[in-house]
Chains A and B, each alone.
Chain A
């Protein structure tokens, strides 16, 4: 007589949960700082209930069956939340593989016929492996979302426009300039020019590792846009290597004011605005 695995699992619900929890807790890498044992138990219980309720003789070897939709949903939810909380792939993987172990262990105790045990466990293995794949897919998707969000944030943060003086703006660029970033830089700069009514903008590229023809083109665009707004744009922080690259690539920057350091750019800006910085002479009174 074939063992009804659905009934077996239903009967052994509590035992499976205990074993699974034991397996999970046995792992040395368990992150108790990220998730309390109670939360873990509640999460595990929810998944087991959903799995046991949707599992039956017919769909055991068919992971695409609609019966598992609820299980897949729970699994995806768990792995996405783990990705966001900062769990490692190993920890997330262990979550699902340790469930497989618990199920097989329980099965081993219940099913006496060797042939039948192997048959069921092969099918069960295949099912659980498919679940593992789903877990990893959603985990990676979750991580990618986090990375994309951070990339956006970095792009936002890394382009501050500084008011150095009344009428002078400085914009230090750190990191590689690509089209998307240039767009952000340009927009921020132009908006700030309007808001502050500045007539000189200093674009400092000492934090840009390499300048190729594309980056140079982006810089030229920013400078022309600033000029169209009615402000002057100075490029400063050109390192010797970058000067060499620019000449070797045959990029024409002759229409632009370029300075070696931010200090000399500022000095030039002061001169344009007819400002003067002077050392005060303190007259000593005898």
Chain B
């Protein structure tokens, strides 16, 4: 059975969708990704959909779900390389993918993820210092 590979790269997980997603494949991807996030403790997910030319409302919802689910597991999701036609379709379907970040290409997507992680770490660091001072 087909599976979409999930690659681990440091704190991040990389998913490159090279085929047109059918429903079963998308559902499996959703389940695999969530499991992978909890197993590896990844801080970010990057989904490259530059090769996807057709989406339907189900696909749009799955991508949105992945964003919300990984957020619950403390990981940010960035969708990169969306084609103009796909973007128009999703907007027409009324699915603006609120839970996920977007970027133009993989490079910008990685930058965005790193900056998000950076921000989170910066927020945490002062607390750590504060605790250290107290003890």
Which of A197, A225, A231 has most B Cβ within 10 Å? A225
Residues A214-237 near B (CB distance < 8 A):
221, 224-231
Residues of A close to B19: CB separation below 8 A? none
What residues of chain A lie closer than 8 Å to B104, measured between beta carbons? 193-194, 197-199, 229-231
Q: How far is the CA of A138 from the CA of B108 in the complex (A)?
A: 57
Interface stretch (choices B6-14, B66-74, B83-91): B83-91
A137 touches B (CB below 8 Å): no
Report if B92 contacts A (CB, 8 A): yes
* A184-217 interface with B by 8 A CB criterion: 186-187, 190-191, 193-194, 197-199
B97 contacts across to A, CB distance below 8 A: 228
* Chain B residues in 8 Å Cβ range of A183: 88
Question: How far apart sit A228 and B63, CA to CA, in the bound complex (Å)?
Answer: 12
- In Å, the complex CA distance between A191 and B88 comes to 11
Task: Give the number of chain A interface residues (Cβ < 8 Å).
Answer: 19
Binding site for A on B (CB under 8 A): 79-84, 86-88, 90-92, 96-97, 102-105, 108-109
Are A230 and B102 in contact (CB-based, < 8 A)? yes
Closest A residue to B97 by beta carbon equals A228
A sample of 15 inter-chain contacts (CB < 8 A) reads A183-B88, A193-B104, A194-B104, A197-B104, A221-B91, A224-B91, A225-B87, A226-B87, A227-B96, A227-B102, A228-B82, A228-B102, A229-B82, A230-B79, A230-B103
Closest-CB distance, A166 to chain B (whole angstroms)? 14
Bound together, the chains give a CA A183 to CA B108 distance in angstroms of 27
Smallest Cβ-Cβ distance to A231: which chain B residue: B104
Complex alpha-carbon distance, A186 and B104, angstroms: 16
Given A197-B104, A229-B102, A230-B104, also A190-B84 (CB < 8 A): yes
Q: Chain B residues with Cβ under 8 A from A198's Cβ?
A: 104
Name the CB-closest residue of B to A186: B88
Q: Which residues of chain B are near A227, meaning CB under 8 Å?
A: 96, 102
Q: Name the residue among A187, A191, A194, A221 with the largest chain B CB count within 10 angstroms.
A: A194
In angstroms, Cα B111 to Cα A199, docked, is 13
Task: Find chain B residues with CB under 8 A from A231 CB.
Answer: 104
> In the complex, A224 Cα to B80 Cα: how many Å?
15
Q: A194 touching B84 by the CB < 8 A rule?
A: yes
Residues of A with C-beta under 8 A to B92: 221
Cα separation A227 to B80 with both chains bound (whole Å): 11
Q: How far is the CB of A188 from the nearest CB of chain B, in Å? A: 9
- CB within 8 Å for A229 and B91 given contacts A193-B104, A197-B105: no
Contact status A230-B84, CB under 8 Å: no
